[in-house]
Amino acid sequence: MSNLKIRDVRTIVTQPTANLIIVKIETDEPELYGLGCATFTQRATVVHTAVNDYLRPFLIGKDPAEIEDIWQSCNVSPYWRNGPVLNNAISGVDQALWDIKGKVAGMPVYDLFGGKSREAAAVYVVPGGRDLKEYEENVRGLIEQGFRCFKLNGADRFFSEDASDKGWPVITNKVSESRGSIFDPERWVRSIVHTFEYFRSTFGWDVDVLYDIHERLPPILGLGLAKDLEKFKLFFLEDLFAPEDNDYFRMVREQTSTPMAMGELYNNPLEMIPMVKDRLLDFMRVHISQIGGLTPARKLSALCEAFNVRTAWHGPTDVSPVGHAANLMLDINVWNFGIQEAGPYQSDLLAEMFPGTPEVRNGYMWPNGKPGLGVDIDEKLAAKYPIKEPARANWSWGNVRRADGTVIRP
Ligand code: GCO
Ligand code: MG
C-alpha cells in the first residue's frame, strides 16, 4: 500500500431523509477510493466547506496508509480544535482512510481492529404508533421479529395529562405558535413514569427498556426521575443532563442504580474522560463523527473498557449508512459492546443510494463481511436529493420553550 497517494478529497452532500455528508477520498490507483461519514445534519454545508476548502488541499498527495498521522495532523492544523464542524470533517476523512485500508487488505475494518467478538450487534429500536392500540401492536410485532430492546420516547404522549398534547415532549400551547413548541418539564416527567408503568405491566420484564431525556430537564428534576424509574430496571436512562451539567451525574451515582448513558453531544475529550475515569456513566454514546471518526472512537472504546463502561454509539436517522457501518465495525470488534442504536435509517431509497447498508433483522445489525466499511454510494442518485433550505435544518432546537418563553437547552 506504501506507494499509494491521495488524489482527491470531496464531499457528497445529500438529503434523502436527513442532511447527510459523505467524504469520498480517491487514490491514484483507479477505482480505489474510500467513503466516510461526516454527518452534522444541522450544519451540513459548513462541514462541506471545512472539507473542500481546508482538508482537501492539506491531504492531496499524502499516503492514505498513514491514518494515525493524518488524523493527528488534521486535528491540529486549524490550531483551535475539538469542535463539531471540524471533528465531522476529519471523521469523513478518517473513516474513508479506514475504508481504503480495508479494501487494500481485502478485509472488513473490524478485522483490521483485531477481529470479531460477536457475529452481529444487538440493537434497540423506537416503536411507533398513532395511538396506544397501534403502539402495542407494533411492539408485539417487533418482539415476534426478535427485537428485545426498546426506547420508549414518543409513547409518553399517550400518557400526558393534556389529551390535546400530540408531540414530544409534552406540548402546552400557552404561548403563540410563532414561538414553536412549548415544554412543560414537570408534566413530562409524570408522563414518563406513567409510560414505564404501562410498558412493564403490558410487556413484562423479558424486554429491555430505555429512555432519552435529551438534557431537557432542570437537573434536580432529572435526579428525581432517575430515582423514580429505578424500580422499572431500565437498560439505561440517556442524556439525563446537558454536557455543561456533567457534574450532576455524581449525585445520581450516589442515589440510584438506574444505568446512565451519555455522550451524543460530546465533542471534546475533556467532556468524556472525567465521565469514564470517575465511572459516572455505564454507556458511552458518542456520535462517532462528532469526535473525529473511528481513530478516536477506537481509543475511547479502549479507555471505556478499562473502566468497564460499555459502548452504545449514537445511531439516529442523522447518521449516514456509511456512519452506521463505521459504528458496526467497532460494535463487532470491541469486548465492551453494550447496544447499538438503529435509528430508522433503513429505507428502500437509502438502501439503493448506499449499496451494502448494514441490515437490521431479528433484533441485530449485521455486517456484510465486505472489505473496508462495506458500503458504497450511488452518486447520481444522491445528486437527485440536494439539501433544501440549509437554515431549516435546525430541527426546532432553538424553538422549544417553556410556557414563559424560556428557550430549552437540549
Ligand atoms: C438519539 C438522539 C437523536 C437526536 C438527533 C439530533 O438518541 O438518537 O437524541 O434523536 O435528537 O440525532 O440531530
Ligand atoms: Mg439521544
- The percent of residues above 90 in pLDDT, for the chain, comes to 84
- Of 231, 287, 284, 292, residue with least CA distance to 264: 287
Instruction: Report whether 51 contacts 41 (CB < 8 A).
Output: no
Task: Please give the Cα distance from 263 to 348 (Å, whole number).
Answer: 30
Q: Is residue 179, in this structure, part of any structural domain at all?
A: yes
Could you give the CA distance from residue 403 to residue 104 in angstroms, rounded to a whole number? Answer: 57
Nearest CA to ligand 1 atom 11: 214
The pLDDT score that the predictor gives to residue 384 is 98
| pLDDT beyond 70 at 167 | no
Looking at all shown ligands, the one closest to residue 263's CA atom is: 2
Query: pLDDT digit string (tens) for 314-354?
Result: 999 999 999 999 999 999 999 999 999 997 667 899 999 99
- Model confidence at 168, in pLDDT bands (50, 70, 90)? very low
Distance 215 CA to ligand 2 centre (A): 9
Q: Which pLDDT score is estimated for 236? A: 98
| Set of cell numbers at residue 88 | 465531522
46 within some domain: no
Residue 226 domain-assigned (yes or no): yes
CB of 17 within 6 A of ligand 1: the answer is no
Per-residue pLDDT reduced to its tens digit, 12-31? 999 998 899 999 999 999 99
**Looking at residue 261, what is its pLDDT?**
98
pLDDT, residue 389, reads 73
- Ligand 1 pocket: which of 42, 313, 314 to mutate (most atoms <8 Å of CB)? 314
Q: Which of 264, 313, 399 to mutate to test the pocket of ligand 1 (most atoms within 8 A of CB)?
A: 264
* Distance in angstroms (rounded) separating the CA atoms of residues 357 and 152: 25
Please write the tens of the pLDDT for every residue from 100-137.
Answer: 999 999 999 999 999 999 999 999 999 999 999 999 99
**What is the DSSP secondary structure assignment for residue 373, as one 8-state letter?**
T
Q: d(Cα 262, Cα 267) in Å, to the nearest integer?
A: 12
Q: What is the mean pLDDT of the chain?
A: 93
The cell numbers describing 251, all together, are 449525585
Beta strands in 232-380 (DSSP E): 236-238, 260-262, 283-284, 310-311, 340-341, 359-361, 364-366
Query: Where is average pLDDT lowest: 142-151, 259-268, 392-401?
Result: 392-401
Q: Is residue 10 in a domain?
A: no
Instruction: Count the Cβ atoms, other than its own, within 10 Å of residue 60.
Output: 14
User: 10: Cβ–Cβ under 8 A, 6 or more apart, which residues?
Assistant: 23, 24, 51, 52, 56
The predicted structure's pLDDT at residue 165: 43
Tell me if 392 is assigned to some domain. no
Is 2's pLDDT higher than 70?
no
- The one-character DSSP state at 26 is E
Q: Is 343 in the pocket of ligand 1 (CB under 6 A)?
A: yes
Across the range 164-175, mean pLDDT stands at 43
Q: Output the pLDDT for position 395.
A: 59
315 in a structural domain: yes
DSSP, res 55: I
**Is residue 241 included in any domain, yes or no?**
yes
CATH of residue 123:
3.20.20.120
Of all protein residues, the one whose alpha carbon is nearest to atom 4 of ligand 1 is 316
Is residue 401 situated within a structural domain? Answer: no
C-beta of residue 151 within 8 angstroms of C-beta of residue 210: yes
- Structure confidence by residue, pLDDT tens digits, 252-304: 999 999 999 999 999 999 999 999 999 999 999 999 999 999 999 999 999 99
**pLDDT at 396 > cutoff 80:** no
Q: Are 333 and 367 in contact (CB under 8 A)?
A: no
Domain holding 220, by residue range, is 112-372
Instruction: Starting from the CA of residue 323, give the closest ligand.
Output: 1
Domain count along the chain? 1
**pLDDT category of residue 1 using cuts at 50, 70 and 90:** low
**pLDDT for the residue numbered 170:** 41
Computed from CA positions of residues 11, 15, 20, 22, in that sequence, does the dihedral angle turn out positive or negative? negative
| Closest approach atom of ligand 1 to CA 41 | 13
Name the pLDDT band for 48 (thresholds 50, 70, 90): very high
Q: Is beta strand 310-311 parallel, antiparallel or unpaired with respect to 283-284?
A: parallel
First to last CA, the chain: 45
